[in-house]
Amino acid sequence: MHNIASKGHDFVEKEKERLHKMKSGNVNGKKLTEFLLRLNILSAYE
């Protein structure tokens, strides 16, 4: 939440794009779970 407040609403969109790119790459199961969790959290700030 601190990053969103300091970097603005643009941060949410950029971070979601970054996570989608990383998710589509070659990642292991644990990291994929972390990416999906973070995407779910970020969707609450849209």
Q: What digits encode the pLDDT tens for the residues 4-33?
A: 778 877 888 999 999 999 999 888 989 999
pLDDT value, residue 9 = 74
3-state helix, strand, coil in the chain (%, to 5): 80, 0, 20
What contacts 19, CB < 8 A, 6 or more positions away?
35, 38, 39, 42
Give the domain ranges of the chain. Answer: 2-43
pLDDT value, residue 1 = 63
pLDDT value, residue 7 = 82
pLDDT value, residue 14 = 92
